[in-house]
Amino acid sequence: MIDARLFRDVLGAYPTGVCVITALAESGERFGLVVGSFTSISLDPPLVGFFPDKRSGTWPKIAATGRFCVNVLGADQLSLCHRFAARAEDKFAELAHGASPAGLPVLDNAIAWIDCTIERVTEVGDHLLVVGAVEALGKEGEGNPLLFFRGQYHDLALLAD
Ligand SMILES: Cc1cc2nc3c(=O)[nH]c(=O)nc-3n(C[C@H](O)[C@H](O)[C@H](O)COP(=O)(O)O)c2cc1C
């Protein structure tokens, strides 16, 4: 039996970036979910993935739209991370943003974005593996990513010295 505290502590020694997965319903409603589990999977065909918790309230709403946009957060976007990691009725309230080629929300100053259609969803333990087929992608500037490591946020620039 693996202790849950130990599992979290040890896996927290593996650093991740932070992404907001966004989606848009036909009604115009916008959804967003913070994930640290985003990863590149395949180049041919181009596939990416992430792991939403089965208990996520936002994931089923994103899933119902059939597509999502990955927004890679920059080091100066911690407040967006907090906003989209909280359980809230409308996480987009009073938030200006742009649109991807598929029309999905692209957060201002996100350092990269990836438009996907949902290729498959597989149950894995208490999470789901979501695989997205990449339809379009792009990046903005040369800003540093927001990093999550040992339960805290970091900026590459500060880790460098
Ligand atoms: C840095 C960070 C990384 C996270 N990574 C994930 C993740 O990979 N998968 C996940 O389901 N939740 C992850 N979360 C938690 C979700 O963002 C949060 O539980 C969710 O937004 C709760 O709201 P919901 O019910 O609207 O889904 C992460 C949160 C933070 C702050």
Walk along the chain (161 residues) and give the pLDDT tens digit of each residue: 999 999 999 999 999 999 999 999 999 999 999 999 999 999 999 999 999 999 999 999 999 999 999 999 999 999 999 999 999 989 999 999 999 999 999 999 999 999 999 999 999 999 999 999 999 999 987 889 999 999 999 998 776 65
- For ligand 1, whether the C-beta of 49 sits within 6 Å is no
- For ligand 1, whether the C-beta of 92 sits within 6 Å is no
The rounded Å distance from CA 33 to ligand 1 centre is 6
pTM of this structure: 0.97
Q: How far apart are alpha carbons 118 and 130 in whole angstroms?
A: 7
Q: How far apart are alpha carbons 119 and 45 in whole angstroms?
A: 11
- For ligand 1, whether the C-beta of 58 sits within 6 Å is yes
Domain 18-151 has CATH 3.40.50.10540: no
End-to-end CA distance of the chain: 39
